[in-house]
Every structure is written in C-alpha cells, then in structure tokens.
A and B are shown apart, each in its own frame.
Chain A
C-alpha cells in the first residue's frame, strides 16, 4: 500500500479565485488534507466562467472545478464572532494555514500570526496578497493583467507594431500559486524538523519579478549593462519560428549552422548542402538564398498537417512543435498514451476529463482525484465533529454564520 507524499499534512484554506486555490490544489492533489473555508456565498471563482453547458451555476464553473479537486468545503462568515470561534477551534488541528485576505484582515479579527501561533504553537501561516504585507502600493488594486503589466513580461510580448500582449489564462496567478505551494512545503519541511512556526509573506508582484519567463534574466541583464529587450514576433530568422502549414501553424527551430543541414534534407533541398553561402551563418544569409529556402520550406509545410510536420521534423532531429488548439491537445496520441487525462465525475457536470498529474512519483503516486466539493458540502460534518448538534446548525444558518 502506497501513501501519498503529503499524507498527514493538515491545511486550513481561506483562499479564493485562482492563485491561492491553485496552491492548495497542489497540496490536496498530493495527499494533504485541505479544508476550504468559503464565505457563505462561496469562492468568487464559483461565479466565473466558463460554465458547464454555458449555464452559470455555483457548482458548474470550470475554473472552480479544476482548481479545487481533493478539497473539502465548509462555509463560515468571518465577520461573526461565532464563526471566528469555530476557526479558533479548527486551528489547533492544522499544520498550515493559507490565506489571501488583505493585509491586516485576520489580525483585526483576532486571528493574526501571533494569535494563531498561540492556538497552535509552530503553525505555518502563508499570506498571499497582490503586493505583499507592506509597501507603498498595498492599497492599490491589482489583477492578473496589472501584475503582468508591471512586474511580468508583458511589454516584451507580442508584435512591436501593436499593443503588448498579456499571457492568456491568468498565468501570473497560477505561477504565484505554484510558488505559494512551494513556500508552504518548504516551511512545512522545517516545521516538521524544528517545531518552529513561520509567517510566509508572498506577494504576487514579487513572484512575477522573480519569474524565469524572461523577467529575472532581463532584470539581471539590465543590472549588468543597462540594456532593454524588445518586443518581437516569433519567426523572424531563417527557418525558425512560427509558420503556417496545411491545417494551422507550427513552430520550428531549423536555422542555426548546426541544424541547417538536417533542415535542408528534411525539406528536400539537399542540393543546397554544399552551397558556400551557408557558411556565413550565424550572420544573416544573402536575401535570394533566404527566399529560395523559405519558398521551398513553405511548399513543404503546405503539403503537411501540423502533426505530420512535427513528427517528420523531430525524426530529422529538428526541434518542432505544433500550435495546438484545445481540441488538438486533448486528442493528441502522446498525451493519450501517457494517460494524462483523468475522468472525474460530479453531480452537476457528470463525468468530465481533467488535466491529471503534473508529474509522476515512482513511490508516492497520486490517488485518483476526488471532485471539487459542493459549496459547504462538509460544513455539517465538521461542526458535528466539533460537538454542534442539528439545532445549532439551523441556528448558525439563520444567523448567517455558515
């Protein structure tokens, strides 16, 4: 019998939206016991599309469903003293608390780090906010778009003749969420060794300024010599970048001096292999030679589908990828063969395929995922465990505590 890597780790989760829930999903998916405390009207992600069947429903949000697998849900209104009392009774059972309230919110409610540490010595509090717990911008509003604009790589993405592009799909929040999960497990590792607590201050803004998607190296480069990167299309150099083919677009890297012989053989232009003008690489080649090569390349591409191009190029040891649509991705034979997709049943949506494990452990494999919880699905169970009776639950509901 195998155990999951985070078996026995207990997490109380006060987060909503994308970043925090992605962090606690990573923990829950690998065996941590995560109790998600939602406000009585639910995590805001429950009201964000796309929805199953295009019908807005609190249990039908694709965003919520994919971000909250393996968690349990209870509702609590933290603006009531009774709810805060329930939290104080839950805290001693936890190893880690993850929260994304504005700075000071928990402290004002008697649940700051010192309060929590008194309730559960050695607790880890992970506070995830747009700007961090302090700094001149803490009162300002921030969203995924604003984070990408200011501390992300947005200015360097897209076509120089047009407006810069953010990276679609709220990726700054997912990246920050992955950082949060990492910070939580690193702090938890020390906690298990020393019994000492920690307050982790995560700023989405700083996670983006630390991102390996160009920001960290570009800032380092600026610090070294004051230069700035540009904003460029993909596919400006010989045989390299995004090109059209019979059914879409592909991205190939074939134009370096090392790869060009393999590339020319691949597109059937062996006749150019001995051409002395190729020796000029990596400097730009003569314009008529570039046009000759690119014309043959385009003809070759237009006779092939994305998948054919990628397979032939990779066989020729030329790095290549398709610009896949969601349909291409979900039907792709490689992902099918590796069993990436995981079917999860849910009372509102029925069985649906989700992206499964992000990595594979040889000794601590993931258990099959449990669906995201219904809103407050485990409230009664948790309160009963704490000694509340049915009559108490009705009263708490009437008082809008749960």
Chain B
C-alpha cells in the first residue's frame, strides 16, 4: 500500500489504502482531494488511560503518544520526517503484530489497531525481576537508564506500517533457538511473537572495564527485530 519514493519518503494512494494515520507534520505534499483531521490513539492522549491507569502511569503513558493526523479522501499523499530513513513493513507478512515506539512510527493504515501496552507485559515476566510491583519498578529504572520507555505501541492487523530508523533499518530474524541482543538505542521495533527484556551485562567485576555495551535488549521468541544503523533515539 505504501510505496517507497526513495529511502526517506513514502507515498500512499488513499483510494487503495483507505484512511492513513500519520505522525502530525509528516505530510510533505499531496495530490487530489485529501482531508486531514486530528487523530487520537485509543487509550492514549486525550482520554488518558480510561480509568485503567490514572495519575502517574497516565503521565508516563503520554510519553508514548505522538500527535497523529488522519488523512482520508481520494489522492496520493507523500510522507517524510526530518530526513530519516523510512521502511515499509507489511504487518500481514510478519504475523500481524508489531511493537514499536510511537516516536518511530511515521504512518500506518487506519485499519491497524494501535494500543499502548506496558513494556513489562511484553517481556512476559518483567525485566528479569519476576513481574509484580518490583519487576515493574525495575523496568522503570532500566527504562530510564536506556531511554527505553515503560510503554510501547502495539499494532495489530493486516495493514502496512512505515517505521523510521536513523541510517536505515535492517531485519534480524528471531528464532526460539537463538536470541538476538540489540542495543536499546538502536532498537526500532519487533514483529511477531517477540519478547524483549532488558539485560545488563554489567557486574561488579567489570566496573570501569566494560565495553560500553552494558545494557542490551534480549529478544527471544519467534519473529523479526528491526534495528537501525545508529544509536540515535528519536
């Protein structure tokens, strides 16, 4: 549905794709009759958690919300953002499920369901902390250290997604037999049944002798991990 114009710009024909949800301000130009209106991720932004999570969690949640706009009508829209490489992912071909940070999401077809989930729940049993309150606190601390938020956006459906990755994105398959470990700053998204847990390679023995790679996201399960060629967060 999305067509890559070059490595950094995608175009989409609304007549074929249906409405498109895109990061606000990412539209470059369009032809035809296209209407833009603000769009809210259900559970995020305005409604702020809908009672399930209030107060602090709600505010943290808002960090995982990027203002988006809905484009509909009849025409071709071009999207691009800050000259960052954009990659089109067909959700249907990667198991219909993807986890990506909202700031990395350039555009998606509106038929994809987006929800904001806790990173802890993606790891099954928290960051090795055994879940529960302690586990989630541990996750929050680790998240604060690496800039990996506590929450992430989960996309479900069969549509297409455009993901941003500084320096381009490459895919790494994750199989039950072999885990893939990713620098948290270079991690972009994961698709399929992939659990990611933050792992520390640091111990009291190698204080000051570490290789500068003390934190890694360990991705296990079955699916694909998307990694960018840079350590720059968005």
Specify whether A and B are partners: no
Residues of chain B at the chain A interface (Cβ within 8 Å): none
Residues of chain A at the chain B interface (Cβ within 8 Å): none
